[in-house]
């Protein structure tokens, strides 16, 4: 192993594996260091599926990255022969009354529509009658409406990480697993210390997810880890199974009448018939050390009663399995002289993992994107004002 690398990537989850692969493809000498054996179930990138969408309610500026990530998933599928991306469409559902925010944005649908219009992303606006006719599994209210995006769908995060690491290694990257980075310094390049040794590089990319505060203690107050639970509820005997398969059951984000939004996935047709469903909670915080990875029966029952039964009458209270995961919410982007620190969870960006190199890896690319984003910021502000009108009109 060379003693000096162009870049060292710390943490090989969805983001780090993507950064490592893209940097290796760009011809860099790269090293990836991961404390566990990736993919694993202790961070933010596990749980079988993740939604991917081109128009993002988090902001129109993300569409370019989402589009490119779809191309990269397809390239990786061709190289590895493994399915990574299913494009079965996305519904973003809402309606009258006080609705939950979508990913902390109360104008989530309006921002999504604006993003689609701006980037020329195919989409439809569906009425309650359209939704009932096309997607009968969804128990909507009279007057509900939806944004539908046919190119959206879901990825398999564990397979995506595996494919990116496999291809990174095939392209010349070095990977150390079961090795924990204990610190770094950035005088005359970057020196990374682990529990097994030390390495040097021109730059480091820190994609450590919920562990970012350990590596960047001075910035720890900027990060908040939130416990999230994923549930797979069995379908009732007698429920029309075809209505829960990908063709009749797009992925969805639903602004509910309760406190939290829900999102979910179809039954893929394998194993016990289930639908995967989750909420997003931003009320309590945790850490990788403190997180409770047990999901209790009462927690599951409360989830079913409030967020499953009213929306999917075909789902039974019988929970096949569950998983605990962490969002790492970030208050501000980090800038460090020789380190790029990134956490993707605050805007649920598993889908952009393969595009991380543009921010963190390639210095010229990073500059280009920063400039572009600054230019866009003014536009985004005016878009948000227009969204306010749009969604008010829809509710009227």
Ligand X SMILES: Cc1cc2nc3c(=O)[nH]c(=O)nc-3n(C[C@H](O)[C@H](O)[C@H](O)COP(=O)(O)OP(=O)(O)OC[C@H]3O[C@@H](n4cnc5c(N)ncnc54)[C@H](O)[C@@H]3O)c2cc1C
- Chain positions contacting ligand X, by CB under 6 A: 10-16, 33-36, 38, 43-45, 47, 50-52, 180-181, 207-211, 215, 228, 230, 278, 325-327, 343-345, 348-351
Cβ 113 to ligand X, closest distance in Å? 19
Alpha helices in the chain, H assignment, sequence order: 14-25, 63-80, 108-119, 128-134, 157-170, 212-215, 297-303, 357-360, 363-395
Residue corresponding to tokens 């009213």: 310
Q: How far apart are CA 247 and CA 87, in angstroms?
A: 10
Return the number of the residue (239 or 252) whose C-beta is nearest ligand X: 252
Question: Taking the chain, what is the end-to-end CA distance rounded to the nearest angstrom?
Answer: 64
Residue 260: burial class (beta carbons within 10 Å; 0-12, 13-18, 19+): middle
Return the number of the residue (196 or 395) whose C-beta is nearest ligand X: 196
Cβ 368 to ligand X, closest distance in Å? 22
Judge whether 112 and 148 are in contact, CB under 8 Å: no
Return the number of the residue (180 or 268) whose C-beta is nearest ligand X: 180
Return the number of the residue (239 or 308) whose C-beta is nearest ligand X: 308
Cβ 143 to ligand X, closest distance in Å? 27
Residue corresponding to tokens 């079961």: 178
Cβ 214 to ligand X, closest distance in Å? 6
Return the number of the residue (13 or 273) whose C-beta is nearest ligand X: 13
Sign of CA dihedral 281, 285, 291, 295: negative
Return the number of the residue (77 or 128) whose C-beta is nearest ligand X: 77
Return the number of the residue (29 or 103) whose C-beta is nearest ligand X: 103
Q: Which residue is nearest to ligand X (CB)?
A: 13
The residue count of the chain comes to 396
Cβ 200 to ligand X, closest distance in Å? 16
Upper half-sphere CA count for residue 129 (Cβ side, 13 Å): 0
Cβ 19 to ligand X, closest distance in Å? 9
The number of beta carbons lying within 10 Å of the beta carbon of residue 65 is: 20
Find the helix or strand (DSSP H, E) in which 198 lies. strand 198-206
Cβ 157 to ligand X, closest distance in Å? 6
Residue 179: burial class (beta carbons within 10 Å; 0-12, 13-18, 19+): middle
């Amino acid at each position: 192993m060379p003693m000096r690398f162009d870049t060292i990537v710390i943490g090989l989850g969805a983001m780090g594996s993507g950064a490592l692969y893209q940097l290796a493809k760009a011809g860099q000498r790269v090293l990836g260091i991961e404390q566990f054996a990736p993919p694993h179930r202790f961070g933010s990138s596990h749980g079988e599926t993740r939604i991917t969408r081109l128009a993002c309610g988090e902001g129109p500026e993300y569409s370019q990255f989402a589009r490119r990530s779809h191309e990269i998933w397809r390239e990786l599928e061709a190289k590895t022969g493994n399915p990574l991306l299913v494009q079965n469409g996305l519904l973003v559902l809402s309606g009258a009354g006080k609705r939950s925010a979508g990913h902390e944005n109360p104008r989530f649908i309006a921002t999504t529509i604006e993003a689609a219009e701006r980037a020329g992303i195919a989409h439809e606006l569906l009425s309650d009658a359209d939704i009932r006719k096309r997607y009968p599994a969804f128990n909507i209210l009279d007057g509900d409406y939806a944004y539908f995006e046919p190119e959206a769908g879901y990825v398999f995060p564990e397979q995506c990480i595996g494919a990116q690491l496999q291809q990174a290694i095939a392209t010349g990257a070095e990977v150390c697993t079961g090795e924990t980075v204990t610190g770094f310094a950035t005088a005359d390049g970057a020196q990374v210390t682990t529990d097994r040794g030390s390495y040097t590089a021109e730059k480091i990319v820190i994609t450590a997810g919920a562990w970012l505060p350990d590596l960047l203690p001075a910035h720890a107050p900027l990060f908040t880890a939130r416990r999230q639970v994923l549930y797979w509820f069995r379908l009732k005997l007698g429920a029309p199974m075809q209505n829960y398969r990908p063709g009749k059951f797009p992925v969805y984000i639903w602004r509910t009448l309760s406190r939290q939004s829900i999102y979910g996935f179809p039954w893929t047709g394998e194993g016990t018939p289930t639908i995967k469903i989750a909420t997003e909670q931003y009320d309590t915080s945790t850490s990788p050390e403190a997180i409770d990875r047990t999901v209790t029966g009462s927690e599951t029952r409360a989830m079913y009663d409030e967020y499953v039964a009213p929306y999917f009458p075909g789902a039974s209270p019988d929970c096949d399995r569950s998983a605990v995961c962490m969002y790492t919410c970030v208050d501000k982007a980090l800038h460090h002289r020789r380190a790029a620190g990134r956490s993707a969870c605050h805007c649920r960006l598993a889908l952009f993992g393969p595009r991380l190199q543009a921010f963190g890896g390639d210095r010229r690319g990073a500059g280009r994107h920063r400039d572009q984003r600054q230019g866009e910021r003014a536009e985004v502000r005016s878009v948000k004002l227009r969204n306010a009108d749009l969604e008010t009109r829809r509710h009227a």
